[in-house]
Chains A and B, each alone.
Chain A
Amino acid sequence: MMTGARIGSLIAGSLVVLCVAILLVDYAVANRQPFASRPAAEQKRVTAERLARKSRDNAVGWVLIAAAAAFLTFAKGLVQQPKPRPPAARQSGADALGVPSGPMRSPGRAPELDLTFVDQIVLQFGRGKESAIPLLQAIQTHYRYLPDDALRRLCEQTDITPAEIAGTSSFYGQFRRSPVGEHIVRVCHGTACHVSGARQITEELRRFLAIPDGEDTDAARMFTLDEVACLGCCSLAPVLMVDGHTAGKLTPATACNALKVTA
């Protein structure tokens, strides 16, 4: 991928090599024969040649210094991954389903959810209490979490009581009551990763994403941070997974860069 930095460093690098080659060649072919027995005209010519070579080498030396400086500047841009920036809040207030993206300032002002889906699944799965789990799973799959409004509608449409919904949804870790971010980040806290510093990585990710205490999603609703048990690649400890893409051998510095794969 020929970005500007790559092209620049290639050009500057070749210029450096070229200047070094010119200087070496000049040194090698420099006229070192003794002067004494030559006629004056040739002496003058050789002197003029030497003077020209000196000034040429001087100029090439400065070009070499400038080219080396340029090469270093471009190479630094190539080598250093740019510092990761925390994700910014998105422009639109909600996505197509009405799921709010952006900070939930006050739930009362959230845009209207499209609740026709709830009616559809009630028709599909039935109204009885035994359908509670399939209904909740469907709602979770559709809205990516269990919105309060959808649950209220569910209670209205079925025989399931709010207490039963609260119990079921809080028992299973799969159900979420707050919107999940676009990407789910699972940090492995298995044994190998734990001893390799998974805690520091999780803390650094929380700082980087500015996730408030007690929550697991950043304010822009881009990433949800989850601490999970062993992901099964202990030789790559510490490990995290972003939406199915695994990144291993992380440090707090590189963990933030692993998020850039998806963002």
Chain B
Amino acid sequence: MSEDLTRRGFARGTVLAVLAGGAAFLVKKANGQVVWQVNAARCINSRLGEVGVEACNLCTTECVVALSAVRAVNEYAKCGRCNICPAYFNITSAVNELGQPSEKLCPRDAIARKPIGKVDPEDPANNFYEYIIDEEKCDGCGKCVMKCKEPLGLGSITLRIRYDKCVNCNRCSIARACPQNALLQLPVGQAL
């Protein structure tokens, strides 16, 4: 008996057609990958108005990736490059003999402070420093983000998800835990 005349063959053909139809529909709709991103306008750490509160580190603790996929990222174009950076130094700590706070803010020592150009010891306020965040050490705890915004900073540091580390889970655990619903899914082009 020819295969396509049997009931089984007919059923198989039907299922194949359904699968093909569904696949075609989904492929037509596909517009590339959708990834998770942190909305800086909602995140407690970077949102204006939240000052003097403990930085929220749910991005670090909730992510399933071993050392979180979230990093603090410094937008160099917006950075003040100040001598005493409130995100680099812990400005509530005692002042040392150089006139700088003695303690650094980052618990993992992930921010590097590099002078730009020549350093003038007589005029410290007019020296510029580049603050570079080492993404191998940063775990997205958000302390620097919390400090670098009005009134202390210019808000150049935000928390961002790094896509070479993010697994792009369906159930992003950070998204589920975030009290401000600050994580959203965007197409890759918009999210970067």
Contact = CB atoms under 8 A, between A and B. Distances in A.
Let me know if chains A and B touch directly in the complex, using CB atoms closer than 8 Å.
Answer: yes
Interface of A: 35-36, 39-40, 43-44, 46-47, 51, 54, 58
A58 B107 CA distance: 22
B54 to A, nearest CB: 7
15 contacts: A36-B54, A40-B90, A40-B93, A40-B102, A40-B104, A43-B103, A43-B107, A44-B109, A46-B107, A47-B107, A47-B108, A51-B108, A54-B66, A54-B67, A58-B66
Interface of B: 54, 66-67, 90, 93, 102-104, 107-109
Which of B54, B103, B107 has the most chain A CB within a 10 Å cutoff? B107
A48 to B, nearest CB: 9
Contacts of B66: 54, 58
Nearest to A43: B107
Central interface residue in B66, B104, B108, by most chain A CB within 10 Å: B108
A51 B136 CA distance: 11
Q: Is the interface of B mostly helix, strand, loop or mixed?
A: loop
Contacts of B90: 40
A159 B104 CA distance: 120
A47 B109 contact: yes
A32 to B, nearest CB: 10
A40 B67 contact: no
A46 B93 CA distance: 19
Q: Which 4 A-B pairs have the closest CB atoms?
A: A40-B103, A47-B108, A35-B107, A43-B107
User: Looking at A40, A43, A54, A58, which has the most chain B CB atoms within 10 Å of its CB?
Assistant: A40
A61 B1 CA distance: 57
A220 B62 CA distance: 69
A44 B137 CA distance: 12
A259 B90 CA distance: 80
Nearest to A44: B109
Nearest to B103: A40
Contacts of A58: 66
A58 B75 CA distance: 32
Contacts of A43: 103-104, 107
Contacts of A51: 108
B146 to A, nearest CB: 11
Contacts of A39: 103
Nearest to B141: A35
Nearest to A40: B103
Contacts of B54: 36
Given A40-B102, A43-B107, A47-B109, 12 more contacts: A36-B54, A40-B90, A40-B93, A40-B103, A43-B103, A43-B104, A44-B109, A47-B107, A47-B108, A54-B66, A54-B67, A58-B66
Contacts of A47: 107-109
A44 B106 CA distance: 9
B179 to A, nearest CB: 18
Contacts of B104: 40, 43
A144 to B, nearest CB: 60
Contacts of A44: 109
